[in-house]
Structure formats: structure tokens, C-alpha cells
Structure 1
Amino acid sequence: MNDKKDKFSFLNYLDYIYFLALIITSCFAFVKSNTLGVIGLISSFILILSFVCKKKIDKEIWIDKLKTVDFNVNKMIKKSAINNPLPICILELDGEIFWSNKSFDQMTGQEEGGTSIGSNIDDYVDDITLRKVLDENKVIEEEVKFRDRDYIIKYSFVKIEEENDGSADYRILIFWIDKTEYNSIKEIYENSREAILFIEIDGYEDILKSTPEENRPMVTMDIEKILSNLEFETHGLMRKLANDKYILLIKKEDLDILEKSRFSILDKAREIDYGNSLPVTLSIGVGVDGDTIEETGEFASGAIDMVLGRGGDQVAMRNKDGFNFYGGKSKGFERKTKVKSRLIGLALKELINQSNKILIMGHHYPDMDAMGAAVGVFDICKAYGKKANIVLNNVNEAVEIFIERIKEENYYNGIFINHEKATDICDKDTLVIVVDTHRPSYTECEVLLDISNRVVVIDHHRRGVDYINDTVLLFHEIYVSSTCEMVTELIQYTDYDIKIHKLTAEGLLGGIYLDTKNFEFKTGVRTFEAASYLRNLGADTLSVKKFFNSYAEDFLVKAEIIQRTEIIDERICISYSKEEIDNINIVIAKAADELLNIKKIEASFVLGMKDDIVFVSARSLGDINVHVLMEKIGGGGHIDIAGAQIKDMSLSQAYNMIKDIITDYLKED
């Protein structure tokens, strides 16, 4: 490229080189002959003058030609712009139309020969923000709707410089691209895409067992009828996979209809009543908007797993953006079989025996359920001859008394380690056992989950969108009262005679006390069986009660919370604590429990702040699903006991946000 430029530059100076050579030759001739030299010099001067004059004339001719071409090009561009099928307009900075072509005039409904020049763009489209155009090199795109047609408009600054005085003026150039047909075709395509629904009947065998024998065929027939109607109404294809499992293929447009009805099929199923003591509920996992049918199927599979992990009787719809949930009005009911606990216990035994290092952890700000379960798992490991450690950085009032008693017993020497030491000793083969939570961000030391390839989760909370993946063993039962009940069953129903310490039994019983509110909530037959088993192991109820002793100042804070309670719709209490005490999360939980004792109150929400975190405790008598409400702000729990932690928000902002969530819920309800 540089060689070509050098060659071109050399050719430009070639004429001057010829003239220079001629002058030098004439001077040399002058030395030999004056007459010949003078003639040569005069000839050279005449040639040079002729050459200069010719170049000047040629330049003027080329300039005239370029002016003619420029005029013709401008004329062509102007004619092309006027007759361009794409609507074009030029605006003043205040939105007044300075110029428009025929297509724009036709688009705006001008009669033949009419023009939109002089009118304002706001007369046609009022949602264009011209202030966005600040850079003449930047093109802004917006989607607008005009006369029931969809347009993408592209607009930018145009700088117009005046030749006479050198001043500059600015205009806004807008191109209108009609995308109505494209959007219509796209909508047809999107609506015709497949959606996959996995449908399961919750506890089908248990429902039939709870129904009088002569009515069982009626229950089965009504379920089949509801599902058959669903297939017909959605123009889909349904296949039965098992007695309680179905798959339904439908189009997305039919799924949108189901979504608008908020999946009313859930309510229809619950209306089936032939003397069955257990309600008929459905769990539906929906996959949609996958790039392939395989990906859509994976979405549906993940969605049904999510529903079952949240207690059933609801719909989880999954696409690339995440999950949407519908339903979830019923409580999960207790399964009386202990087979799963026995199988999980055997699997856990194998994992423990194969591990040289075992770390156990609960959630941030652990309560008695988390700590009791952790100590219970510690004793299981000890019974199998394995050393385990519980990861704990700070002790809060919720477990303070229990931890002090643990440290006094030589049996538990070296049981607790901090985050730093746990991170140092953890490797990919370390067995990490997480109790009372399934959310990575809620765990005591989240980094351990990234280091270890062998993670076990034991939890009873309804499954949230954020959960621990790639577990080697998952024991997740949302209908169980507490994680301590689950760990007690692991001890009780394994084939190995596990002996646990009396204090461990009291810790497990304390966790059951806490999460059942002294056997008032989520209490089933298995809960009492677990409590009875722990009592037989020596757990003292009076000692357990002492775990929950509070300071006098906590009672005063709780009293202030109750005093400033606001009642919404005569059904829901909401309050907050002005005090920022260390154990505010415990105090607000107790206050939320207390507010449920008010007549006609169905749910309570109490907020408190500690450091830069707003804690929310939510309680319900069962008719209002507080888990769903807390999930809207990143929390979760159970249908009747839930909570959340909110960061980067003031207490008043969080309070108003919770009130808005409650108001929206009451409107939907």
C-alpha cells in the first residue's frame, strides 16, 4: 500500500523533474554557446509557463464538472428521499416537523398534496423523548405504536453548517420502519411454540386410602375428567405415564390462557369430595420458551421438581428467565411411612464411613432447629467412629444457652470451628452436611459448597428458586415439622444401633419445640413419635424450656412491637421494632407468634433491623400462605412460618414494601 502511494507521489513531480533537467541542460549549453544557451532558457521558460496555464485551465474545467455532478447527486438524493417508501421526517429541536417525505405524509393521513410540515411530532406520537438525542454520532432506537401499527424509529442529530457565515443549525432526522407484519409473524410463531406440562396427583395412594372404598372409583373418575377437560380446552395431547403422573403438550397461546386463569384447574381438583379426608391436589411443572424441545422438557422437569419441593398443590412455570408460581394454598400433609428416612439413613451411613473429614453447618444466625440438627448429625458421625466439626462463627441468643451447655461437656470437645479453619481443612473430598436450609446464600459458610464435591442437604423448608445443586444426597421433606424431626428419624430408623448423648436429644427436642411452637403448628403423628423417642433417650422438657429463656429487655421490645401494631383488612397484623438489638430476629419472631393470638387475625408480619439488614418474620394460621409472600422479597419458609432478610433498604422502606405486598395479595385473594 505504501509502495503505491510513493509511486503516485513520484509521478506527480515527474513534470517538474523534466523542466529542471531542461533548465540544467540549457545552462550547460550556455557555457558552450551563449546563443544556444539563451535559446534553451527562453524555450524552457515558455514551456513552463504554458504548462502552468494549462493546469490552471484543467483545474477550472474539473471543478465545473464536479459542481455539475454534485448538483445532480443532490438532486437525485432529494428526489429519492421524497419518494422513498420508508417514512422520513426532519424535526426542529422543539419537535416541529421541518421536512417530511411523501411516505411520512401518507402514514400520518395527509390528503393528496397535503403535508405534515409545520405540525409537531407530539400530534402523532407522544412517547418520543427527543432529549435522548445528544450526540450527532449516536443513533437512538425506540419502538412506538401509531394508528395500530408497530414501528421502530431511528433518530439522530444532524448538524447543518451555513456556508455564508459559518454558523451551524441542528435538526433531528427520523426514519420510521414498519414492523407490524414482522411482529405479527413473530407472534404467530411464539404462540405456536410448544409448552410441556408434567402433572402429578399429590399423594394419590394416600387420597384413595382416605376415601370410603365404594367412593374410590368416583374420585378417580373425577380426576380423569378434570384432566381430560384440560386436554380438550388447551387443544393439547395428554399421555398417562403412571396412575398419578401425566404429560401434556400444548401450544404457548393455550398456556397463556391457563396462566390468565391462574391455573383454575388447581381449585377444581380441590373441590373433589367423596368423603376423602385428604384433599385432591395437583402439582404441575411447566416448561416453555426453550430453544429446543429438549430444553423445554428440561425446564418442565426442573419445574415439577421445584413444585414437589415446595409442597405441591401449585404450578411452577419455568423459562429462560426463571420461575413463576401459581397456587400453593394447601398445606403439605404428613406421610406416615418411614421408609424414606430409613433409606436416607443407610445412604448417609455409607457417605460418613467413606469420609475422612466431615463438616456440618446450618444457616446464618442459627436457631435451635439448625443447631439441634447439626449436633444430632455430629452424634451420628460419632456413633460411626468418625470425627466431625460444626462450622459456627458467632453465637446469637437463639442458641446461646444450648451452646454454653455443649461447651461444658467433654463429650463435645472441639466440636465447633470457625469459617477460616473450616475453609483451610475443606477439600473436594470433604463431606459437607447442610442442615435446615437449602439455599447457598443462607448457609453458615457458603465457600465450602464451592470447595467440596460431596454435599448433603437435610431440610424441611419449601424449596426456593435458589437452591444447592449437585448434592450427593438430598433429604428434603417439606411436610415435616422441623429438621430436628428429620435427623431424629435418621437416628431412629437406621439399621445401626445409634446411641446419642442426652444433651443431643434435648437439642433435637428443642428444635422440634421451636418450629412447632410448642406442638401447635405443623405437628403430625411422626412429630410426636420423634418427641417420644427423644424423651426415652433422656431429653428433659424442663431443660429444653430453658434453652428459650429471654432477657427482660426482650419482653419490653416485644411489648412495644405489639403496641404499634397496624391491622390490615381486619385479617393481617403488621408491626416493627425501633430498637436495633443483637437478637432482634428472635424478638420479632416471638412478637409475630404473639400477634396470632388476636381474634380474627390470620397472619402477622413483624420487621426489625440489625446492622444493615432488615429482618422480617411472618406467621400464619394456614389460610394465608406467608411463604409465597416472603418469596417475593427473596425469603421463604413454610405456608404458616416464613421470613426474609432485606439488604440495602431502610426499615421504613421495607415496612411500606411489605404493606404493598399484603395489599396486592388481598386484591388477588
Structure 2
Amino acid sequence: MPKFLFKRWYGLHMVLAITLSLLLVAILTLYHWVYGVIGILLVIGLIIATLQVEKRFQQDLKMYMATINHRVKKASEGLLQEMPIGILLFNEEKVLEWANPYMQKITNQESLIGKELVEVFPALDWKPEQKKIDFAYGERIYEVLIRPEERLLYFTDVTEYKELAIRYQQERTVMGIIHLDNLDELSQVMDDQSRTLLTTSVSGVIIEWAGKHGVFLRRISSDKFIAIMDRAALDKLEETRFEILDVVREMTVDNKIPITLSIGIGAGMPTLVEVGKNAQSSLDIALGRGGDQAAVKIGNKLNFYGGKSNAVEKRTRVRARVIAHALRDLIHEADQVIVMGHKNADMDSIGACLGVLKAVQIHDKKAHIVLDSTNAGIDRLMKEVYQSPIAEWFVTPEQAFQLITTRTLLVIVDTHRPSLVIEPRLLEETSRVVVIDHHRRSEEFIEDPVLLYLEPYASSTSELVTELLQYQSDRVSLDSVIATGLLSGIVVDTKSFAFRTGSRTFEAASFLRRNGADTAMVQRFLKEDIQQFIKRARVVMNTEVFKDRIAIAIGDANESYTQVQVAQAAEALLTLEGIQASFVVAMRSDDAVLISARSLGDINVQSIMEKMGGGGHLNGAATQIKDISIPDAVRMLKDVINTEL
């Protein structure tokens, strides 16, 4: 107990004892005065003896406390001198005033006093809010505890711990799935013997590659391998950018249908089950982006490698029919359908919306198209739409919110990224979402759609919707505006059937032409006025040739450009001799910088734009960057190109 409490307790007991003693003496005095005198003498003797004992106790206690303080002080001094933790004391000018012997051992200097901190540890620096940092000095790693108020630094050697942590990370299990993309197509163009010889040689190359990099490999089906490795092996594969993709593609390039690989890698998760799910998810994304690439998902971070070849058309009418019937069932179950495309709508987005609107009306259900505003690229089409009965089915995002019920079906077309839809909040308000898109799958994706039709092999979303329309009814009758809108979407995205055009593209265009699509009207939709033509020409004039094969055009910083204008300028640059890829950098009306990229196929502009926050296809992609100047955007673009190439 505290000293003052002890004294109070002891004093109370002494007063009580003396009081009782005096009371007894008084009683004895009543019997005889001699007894009283004897009693008083005894009480006085007792008091004197008690005081002597108390005095001796206090002296012994003081000696004991002094001994303890001396021992503690001595132990503390010894601890500071001998403990395996470095301690530095510095003044306001960061000049060292004191250091314990362990700091001399760390620095191999006999005296540190009087030296500046930066002189002893040039690389040691910390921010005001930091209380603890890791600091590498020589071959050791120290955890530095910072006490700015006392101007003290504590150095703890954590080298073994850090090495153990690194070793733990390097030895964590990584799972991969390797998929041979075109095996089914090979069976249609090669006999069994040739097909077997080719796949055997490809498998041999993959097995040799796996053995070289310490990867355990086992075939789990005719077109799939499962790969098990550690993180150290994965790091080496990422350094080589999965060179096996190029090896397999080049060894089969002479075939009518070359074999390509898609690889999905999962890592960085706490359990093997989650690692396996990441691997499968990564493979799905790689396939959704057109194959011939590796998708590596470490935790929640996704990286892509490869993707250098154009996707080979793999769609079948069976899949289109299955998707069409699934869409029909979802339409029947819904009380209404809301259709929405991406921000800054283009011909393909509006055309696909019109096609889905018609598919819903075939089944006598209500449908609405969400559109926030028009732009120069769709103005002429929208004028035709607004002059037709279809105009009443267009609503603003605010009106769409008022229409939503628990049974509403939301159909997203021409994008699969939540941040790019016209009104992202509609995704949160509806539980049933259908996604129809032709872009290569990106890391950002709409969560849990009830139906997904993602075909990067298609020329446009309008082509996909046209195919789905054909299976909605035995007889499909299209309004001229809807048919023309769908055809316009196909024409714009294929650059008048010059790029990304397959046999199915012409079949869709033929179906639309038979059902009232007006090709002359399409050409009117694509016309531009002379001022816009001159404005685009000025952008093309301000062109720099980068790395002898890449054209980079820059718009006037004092003018604003639309997405269509920069895209058309990029396409115009591709017609120049020796140019394999083009980039146009210009300012948008909302002060964001637009970058539109186009390629002939030798350079993957999608991966370049993804590094800058955008996306698209191998030969056509774009991005928008806010809070940046055009010169800074151009420097960033060149840095990314240098890294990718």
C-alpha cells in the first residue's frame, strides 16, 4: 500500500491501543493507586519500545529501497550498454549526442558523437507522421523506431525475420491452368493423324518449358493442363512475359488455324481453394479477351501478358441460339426491360439498344432505352429515331430510376465495365442484369450477371444483337430505323467492313438489308460537315512519328474534341506508309484528355491503353484521363509504349 496510507493505518492502531491501555490503568487505579502507577509505567514503556521498533523498521526499509534502486540503476545502465538494440540520441540539428555500444557495432565506428545523422546514415529518412520504418544498412535490415519528441532512434535487426517473410512469400503455392485455344477448330481442318502430331509437338514444347522453369505440369483434358509452382517460379515467368505464348504461336503459324495458348494464374490467396478459383477466373478472363495471352491474378491485382494476335472467330450458331432462348425466357419473366449502353454513346451502342428494344417488343413486353445526351457521332441517327414512334421509349437516367421494380430486367450493351455505363447506380438498383458486349474482357467487370454474352470475336455488339433477334421469333419484322441503326453500328465498328469482319458479319448485314436497312441512310449518318473535317485534318497535321512505326497526333490544347473526332483521326493516320499504330491525344469538353489508339494488328494497343486506365481491342482502344495536361499525357503514353514494346 502507499506510504501515507500505511502511516495512517499504523497511527490509528497505536492511538486505539494506548486508549485501551489508559482505560485499563484507570480501572486498576480504582482498586488501588499502586496498581495505577504500575500500569502507567508499563504503558509508557510500551510506547517507548514501540517507537524504537518503528524507528528501526524505517531505517531498514530505507536501506532496502536504496539497495533496490542501486541494483535497478545498475541493471538499466548495463542493459543500455549490452542490449542488442541500437539507440541514437540527436539534437534539433540532427547531430548525434549519444549512442550505445551496439550502434558502434552496427556502423563499425568508434565514436558517433558530434557527427550529423545524414553523415552516418545518408539513406535514412522519414516523414513526420511515420513512427516506424524499415532501413537497409550494409547487408542487414533494421526496423527503426522513431521518437521525434525525445529525438531518439531505436535500431532493431530484423534481417532474419525479413528473409523468412520473403522466403515464405516465394514458397507460396501458385496454381495455373493452360488452355489450348483452337483445338476444336483444328479437328475441322486437319485429319486425326496430323492433328495428333501437331498437338503432341505442342504438348512437348509446353512440358519442356514447364520443366525448365520448375513448374509441375499435368494434363487434365485434351486441351487443358494444370500447373503447380511457387511464387519464385511465377516471378521468373513474369520476367520472361510468358514467352511460351510466342513459342507456341510461332511454331504453328504456318497452319491454317495456328494454335495459341490461354493461361490463367492464381496466387496470393490464403487457401488453395481460393487460389484455384483465382486461376479459373483468370483463365475465363484471358479467354474473354480473345485468348493467346496469360492473365495473372495475385490477390485482387490482375496483370496481362501476350495478346499479340487477333482473335480467331469461334462463335457458333448453337451458342447464339442458346443465348437467344435464355434472353427470351428472362424477358418473359420480367415486367419490363431497361436497356443501357455506355457513356458518350456511339452508333454501335445505340444500334444494339434499338435491337434489344425490338427483341423485347416481339414478346409484348415494355422496354425503355436509357440515354443521357447525344453527340456528333449519333446526332443524325437520333434525329431519325425522334421522328419515329420509337422516340417514346427513350428515357433519361432519372426517369429510369422511377420505372425500376423488383422484376425489372436491365440489359447492358457494348460495355461490361460498371464505370462506363451511362448510369452506374442502375446496376445497384436491379438484381437481374444481362451483358451483351464484343470488347475484350477487362479487369473491371459487372458482378454476377444473370446472362453474359461476351464475344470478342464479333465485329460489333450490333452484330451480336442482330443474331439474337433472328432466334426470338420464326418471323422477325424490323422497323426501317431499327434495321438501319443496327447496320450503322456494324459499318462504323468495322470501318465499312474493312476491319474485324468475319463471315457472320456479312450474314448479319444481309439479314438487316433484307429487313429494311437503308444503306443510303447509313451513309448519311456517317457524313460530317466541312468544319469538323478541317478540325480533324489539323490534328493529323500535328503528327510525330515515334519509334519509326507509331504515329502520335496531338490536338490543339485550346480546343475540345469528341471521341468520334479523335477516333477518326487515329484511323486516318493508319493509312500512312510505314505506320503500324496510331495514337491521337486531345482535350475533351469536360477537360479530360482523350487518347484514341488504332493498330494494324502488329502492335497491341489494347494493352497500352489498359496501362493508362482504358481498354478496347487489340487493334482499337481508347482511354480518358482526368486532371492531366496534354504534354503530360503524351509523356505518359510514350513511357507506356516503351515499356510494352
Would you say same fold, with TM above 0.5?
A: yes
Distance 2:633 2:48 in 1: 90
Tell me what 1:147 maps to: 138
Secondary structure class of the residue paired with 2:251:
coil
- 1:266 equivalent to 2:257? Answer no
- 1:524 equivalent to 2:515? Answer no
Distance 2:562 2:334 in 1: 38
- 1:409 equivalent to 2:388? Answer yes
Distance 2:254 2:419 in 1: 44
1:645-656 correspondence to structure 2 within 5 Å: 645-656=624-635
Q: 1:401/1:579 Cα in 2 relative to 1: closer, same or farther (>3 Å)?
A: farther
Residue-by-residue CA offset, 1:84-113 (whole Å, 9 max, x unaligned)? 2x1323232345443333433333346xxx
> What residue identity is the alignment partner of 2:88?
I
Residue-by-residue CA offset, 1:522-560 (whole Å, 9 max, x unaligned)? 111111111111111121111011112223331222122
Aligned 8 A contact 2:266 2:275 in 1: yes
Tell me which of 147, 152, 156 is aligned to 2:147: 156
Aligned 8 A contact 2:96 2:113 in 1: yes
Residue-by-residue CA offset, 1:150-207 (whole Å, 9 max, x unaligned)? 2222232464xxxxxxxxxxx4232323332x23333333222211111111121213
Aligned 8 A contact 1:215 1:274 in 2: no
The offset of 1:49, in angstroms, is 14
Secondary structure class of the residue paired with 2:234:
helix
Residue-by-residue CA offset, 1:495-519 (whole Å, 9 max, x unaligned)? 5322211111100010011111111
Distance 2:105 2:8 in 1: 57
Q: 1:70/1:373 Cα in 2 relative to 1: closer, same or farther (>3 Å)?
A: same
Residue-by-residue CA offset, 1:572-606 (whole Å, 9 max, x unaligned)? 12223236767622211111111111111111111
Secondary structure class of the residue paired with 1:423:
helix
> What residue identity is the alignment partner of 2:156?
W
Distance 2:195 2:50 in 1: 114
Q: 1:580/1:358 Cα in 2 relative to 1: closer, same or farther (>3 Å)?
A: farther
Tell me which of 178, 188, 198 is aligned to 2:158: 178
Aligned 8 A contact 1:380 1:498 in 2: no
Tell me which of 79, 89, 92 is aligned to 1:91: 89
Secondary structure class of the residue paired with 1:315:
strand
Q: 1:350/1:145 Cα in 2 relative to 1: closer, same or farther (>3 Å)?
A: same
Tell me what 1:35 maps to: none
- 1:600 equivalent to 2:578? Answer yes
Distance 2:408 2:316 in 1: 32
Q: 1:238/1:662 Cα in 2 relative to 1: closer, same or farther (>3 Å)?
A: closer
Secondary structure class of the residue paired with 1:364:
coil
Distance 1:146 1:419 in 2: 59
1:52-67 correspondence to structure 2 within 5 Å: 66=65
Aligned 8 A contact 1:158 1:173 in 2: no
1:558-573 correspondence to structure 2 within 5 Å: 558-573=536-551
The offset of 1:68, in angstroms, is 5.2
Q: 1:312/1:142 Cα in 2 relative to 1: closer, same or farther (>3 Å)?
A: same
> What residue identity is the alignment partner of 1:223?
V
Tell me which of 523, 540, 554 is aligned to 1:545: 523
Aligned 8 A contact 2:90 2:98 in 1: no
Aligned 8 A contact 1:380 1:500 in 2: no
Tell me which of 204, 211, 219 is aligned to 1:232: 211
Distance 1:185 1:582 in 2: 55
Distance 1:183 1:639 in 2: 41
Residue-by-residue CA offset, 1:368-412 (whole Å, 9 max, x unaligned)? 0000000011011111111200011212221111111112112x1
Distance 1:272 1:130 in 2: 53
Residue-by-residue CA offset, 1:397-430 (whole Å, 9 max, x unaligned)? 21111111112112x1521011111111113321
- 1:374 equivalent to 2:353? Answer yes
CA RMSD of aligned residues (A): 3.6
The offset of 1:626, in angstroms, is 0.9
Tell me what 1:423 maps to: 401
Tell me what 2:485 maps to: 507
The offset of 1:442, in angstroms, is 0.6
The offset of 1:131, in angstroms, is 6.7
Tell me what 2:379 maps to: 400
Q: 1:17/1:407 Cα in 2 relative to 1: closer, same or farther (>3 Å)?
A: farther
Distance 1:316 1:309 in 2: 11
Secondary structure class of the residue paired with 1:622:
coil
> What residue identity is the alignment partner of 1:439?
R
1:98-137 correspondence to structure 2 within 5 Å: 98-109=97-108, 114=110, 116-117=112-113, 119=115, 121-122=117-118, 125-129=121-125, 132=128
The offset of 1:471, in angstroms, is 0.7
Tell me, which stretches of 5 or more residues in structure 1 are unaligned?
26-46, 160-170
Tell me, which stretches of 5 or more residues in structure 2 are unaligned?
24-45
Tell me which of 273, 289, 311 is aligned to 2:290: 311
> What residue identity is the alignment partner of 1:152?
E
1:237-248 correspondence to structure 2 within 5 Å: 237-248=216-227
Distance 1:413 1:6 in 2: 92
Distance 2:136 2:153 in 1: 19
1:217-616 correspondence to structure 2 within 5 Å: 217-273=196-252, 275-335=254-314, 337-410=316-389, 412-494=390-472, 496-578=474-556, 584-606=562-584, 607-616=586-595
Q: 1:549/1:147 Cα in 2 relative to 1: closer, same or farther (>3 Å)?
A: same
The alignment's TM-score, normalised by the length of structure 2, stands at 0.89
Aligned 8 A contact 2:140 2:157 in 1: no
Q: 1:641/1:20 Cα in 2 relative to 1: closer, same or farther (>3 Å)?
A: farther
Distance 2:10 2:616 in 1: 85
> What residue identity is the alignment partner of 1:389?
H
Aligned 8 A contact 1:212 1:275 in 2: no
Q: 1:569/1:126 Cα in 2 relative to 1: closer, same or farther (>3 Å)?
A: same
The alignment's TM-score, normalised by the length of structure 1, stands at 0.86
The offset of 1:270, in angstroms, is 0.8
Distance 2:253 2:588 in 1: 49
> What residue identity is the alignment partner of 2:252?
D
Distance 1:406 1:130 in 2: 62
Aligned 8 A contact 1:557 1:577 in 2: no
Secondary structure class of the residue paired with 1:287:
strand
Distance 1:508 1:423 in 2: 27
Distance 1:188 1:68 in 2: 49
Residue-by-residue CA offset, 1:594-637 (whole Å, 9 max, x unaligned)? 11111111111112222132222111111111111111122101
- 1:639 equivalent to 2:618? Answer yes
Distance 2:529 2:452 in 1: 38
Distance 2:244 2:78 in 1: 62
> What residue identity is the alignment partner of 1:155?
I
Distance 1:130 1:188 in 2: 27
Q: 1:508/1:475 Cα in 2 relative to 1: closer, same or farther (>3 Å)?
A: same
The offset of 1:483, in angstroms, is 0.3
Distance 1:648 1:59 in 2: 77
- 1:74 equivalent to 2:73? Answer yes
Distance 1:509 1:592 in 2: 23
Residue-by-residue CA offset, 1:191-250 (whole Å, 9 max, x unaligned)? 222111111111212134445776433311211111221332233332222221121112
The offset of 1:122, in angstroms, is 4.3
The offset of 1:459, in angstroms, is 0.1
> What residue identity is the alignment partner of 1:183?
K
Distance 2:47 2:587 in 1: 97
Distance 1:594 1:479 in 2: 24
Secondary structure class of the residue paired with 1:610:
coil
Q: Name whichever of 120-129 and 289-298 sits farther off.
A: 120-129
Aligned 8 A contact 1:484 1:511 in 2: yes
Distance 1:508 1:221 in 2: 44
The offset of 1:120, in angstroms, is 5.0
Distance 2:127 2:433 in 1: 54
Q: 1:579/1:414 Cα in 2 relative to 1: closer, same or farther (>3 Å)?
A: farther
Tell me what 1:28 maps to: none
Distance 1:345 1:121 in 2: 72
The offset of 1:251, in angstroms, is 2.0
Secondary structure class of the residue paired with 2:309:
coil
Q: Percent identity?
A: 35
